Structure 1
């Protein structure tokens, strides 16, 4: 299936059947991954490989435009919206050194290895280097969060994952142009790179500003969520069409909305949008990783005439260079700025050696690399076949398998061996204490405002007392949860546990009355929504303990 077309020439009905089957596989693999505590991205790729090797199943081929134009924009936008602009700005130096510096260094290292050891022409080597240079942070982040790594490591990984695709895709376009035209001008490329970066940042800010004002004007959650779906494509498509990457504009829009959206987006829209986008991205990523594994059959057909041992050696060599280049870059990038610039060292002391090691080990490759390889044109500008196109595609897929499956499966053991497992627990408790402090101040501000309203409107004391008791109950709950005494914490846990049982009792009685014909459908849904919100609030508090 290429985009929506089965390679064997099947009808639209067969295409839909294949898509439904893939959804079923995603659900089944995700269930198994949760049981085994393995990132589902790894199992989905392996499941795709297994399915691709089963005789008789249709060949599924991933169309690069599906990823670059339809999949990549919403995934990047969603990650950018979830990203903290304050943390992104504070960690801009390490994020820039990884997303731009490490990508460029890896591109050069792979190009040199491909030229000197595999016999690639320099421009073709740079095409391969640009393709395999950007890491995919999704699978490592799921492991890192589960093992409670320090927050800063997570922020750097998230920030790198946002920006490295832009740098890699721009380098990729330059390399493709050099192969097609047979010439390359560094000065011209540098000027064009600066123009792309500046233009995409301005475009991203403009789209974010306009979309937020439009969403505030419509004030309808369904329309706002529709606009949120359109936002990443409005950010991505115009710069991409004009020769940029589109990634940087989409990241800029997402960060702008993340920083300014809380003032302009209604609470109802946020609640519905969180659930929608969580499911939307989950579905996209699951399907993409599964289809990545399904490319195995297509690759086997294309390299059938080549020496298997020679291909394996080439794949091992390129994979080793990709992994080693990140380690070689990581330590100087971490410590050299602090040694050379005392203000940087004073503001941001050097981390222990384990931190750059785990950051270096998380350099797994993913779907962007595969899409870029598939997007290589079949012919150059003069009509000649693009040099080593099928070999580049095979090497890219091999790097993805080696890094995603190999490093991904080993990452939990590496984190534990480095002593970083649960290292973020203390800062998480500290963050919880600060959060509770702000909650108390907010509730106290609400109580002060209540006294002002009571005086202005001459409210009855019974009304004021009821509202004051409700907020003081919230304040007492926070005090009990924040208190270091185990007795208070156990009391809070008991309170939450009993509250969940009471919600279940309300839900059961509501359903009984509905079944007995004493409640309309609309009323039942409104009551269910209230109960769902209360249960979600309790689950959120319990999950953050």
Structure 2
């Protein structure tokens, strides 16, 4: 199950940028809204007060809006803190503490802690480039790539551990009845998602005739991966487990065990059926190259290089840089803004040469350490510079591969 989840995440990243953005935004919005509705429903079930539509709607709005407000407030309070953190390691530590700093006040005020965390993350992402340095950002990204992988693995392991317990705890209905209900829910989950993506977009297309809306339209086969990527995850099981066993009056909540069992089965069914077939669905969708992303990348590089060239003479004079070095730097900026003509194979050969020279430098550095001419501290300091350079060359290879796939549609 863990391997399936990782494969699904890898395939999802191969989708066009806009499709991936829609899936991510949908996940955040749907999970946040569903968890708020669940919390309000549980409160209604376990509370001694009589049910009313107005009171329940007001509780939903309070929880939803309150979570957003607290998330924004915590993010804004942490911005000056991030500006004053002296070490990159502290930024990583604060990124771990931030979800708790947003979640706990929201829960204490009985509003949505999940929405508070999501909102805090979105606001932090918006202001992050202004308050987080490059060294802290590189370290935090590497840390969270490993942490998210381990956390996802742990969640799905917990799902697997929970499955036998849910079967043993199933007493309110028979195993056959629960299995039939789980299959029906699985079909309903996928069918509802399929119906949504093949009905609502056409309604939006009919009502919204703006040119920019027409530019964002996709074909029916390209809409299928959006519907197919509706796998359930550990959050669903965690939500089912929050259903209380007894009410405030001490009455047993009927068929709670069936709810947990059905949820666990739906997770397994959607992951094992939709997950392995998603790569085929994505390939058959035949998504076009993301020309907008390519254009924006070119725009950003050209504008950055132009701004650097304009500021170069004044900055060189301020720092007392010799004219020859300034000219070399200007030439390097111009080369990056408008790469020299040549085939993709030629550029790939140059990149391999640079990587080979890096390996020569690494071997020399290691020999100096082994012969006692430098110590481990110096080795790690120089090695860090070489690592950054190798990462840069790896990104150049990724850009070259993307460019090659654009030049040769048959390969993509």
| TM superposition score normalised by structure 2 | 0.89
Q: Give per-residue Cα distances to partners, 1:285-308, cap 9 Å, x unaligned.
A: 111112211212212221379533
Alignment counterpart, residue 407 of structure 1, candidates 274, 280, 287? 274
Describe how 1:139-538 pairs up with structure 2 within 5 A: 139=8, 141-146=9-14, 149-181=15-47, 183-303=50-170, 307-343=174-210, 346=213, 350-417=217-284, 419-420=285-286, 423-424=287-288, 426-427=289-290, 431-456=293-318, 459=320, 463-477=322-336, 479-480=338-339, 487-538=342-393
Q: Distance in 1 between matches of 2:214 and 2:302?
A: 31
Q: Would you say how many aligned residue pairs link Structure 1 and Structure 2?
A: 399
Secondary structure in 1 matching 2:191: helix
Q: Provide the secondary structure at the position in 1 that maps to 2:339.
A: helix
Identify which of structures 1 and 2 has the higher relative contact order when contacts are C-alpha pairs closer than 8 Å and 6+ apart: 1
CA distance in 1, matches of 2:305, 2:125: 24
Q: For the residues of structure 2 that align with 1:305 and 1:266, how far apart are their CA atoms?
A: 56
Q: CA deviation at 1:334?
A: 1.4
The DSSP-based 3-state class of the residue aligned with 2:251 is: coil
Deviation readout 1:165-219 (Å, 9 max, x if unpaired): 1111111122222332474322112222222222222211111111121010223
Shift of residue 343, structure 1, vs aligned partner: 4.6
How far did 1:317 drift?
Answer: 1.2
2:172 and 2:258 in contact (8 A); partners too: no
- C-alpha distance in 1 between matches for 2:343 and 2:211: 43
CA offset digits 1:98-155 (Å, max 9, x no partner) = xxxxxxxxxxxxxxxxxxxxxxxxxxxxxxxxxxxxxxxxx3x432223xx2221111
Judge conservation of contact 1:207–1:234 (CA < 8 Å) in 2: yes
Runs of 4+ with deviation above 6 angstroms? none
Which of 310-319 and 330-339 deviates more? 330-339
In structure 2, how many angstroms separate the alpha carbons of the residues matched to 1:350 and 1:383? 53
Q: Does 235-244 or 284-293 show the bigger shift? A: 235-244
> Closer, same or farther in 2 for the Cα pair 1:269/1:368, shift >3 Å?
same
2:410 matched to which residue of 1? none
Moved more, 201-210 or 298-307: 298-307
Decide whether the 8 Å contact of 1:338 with 1:344 is kept in 2. Answer: no
**Aligned in 2, Cα 1:324/1:453: closer, same or farther, shift over 3 Å?**
closer
- The change in CA–CA distance for 1:239 and 1:307 in structure 2 (over 3 A counts) is same
In the alignment, does 2:408 pair up with 1:541? no
CA distance in 2, matches of 1:176, 1:282: 31
Mapped partners of 1:40, 1:341: distance in 2 = 37
Q: CA deviation at 1:473?
A: 2.8
When residues 39 and 475 of structure 1 are mapped into structure 2, their CA distance, relative to the original with a 3 A threshold, is farther
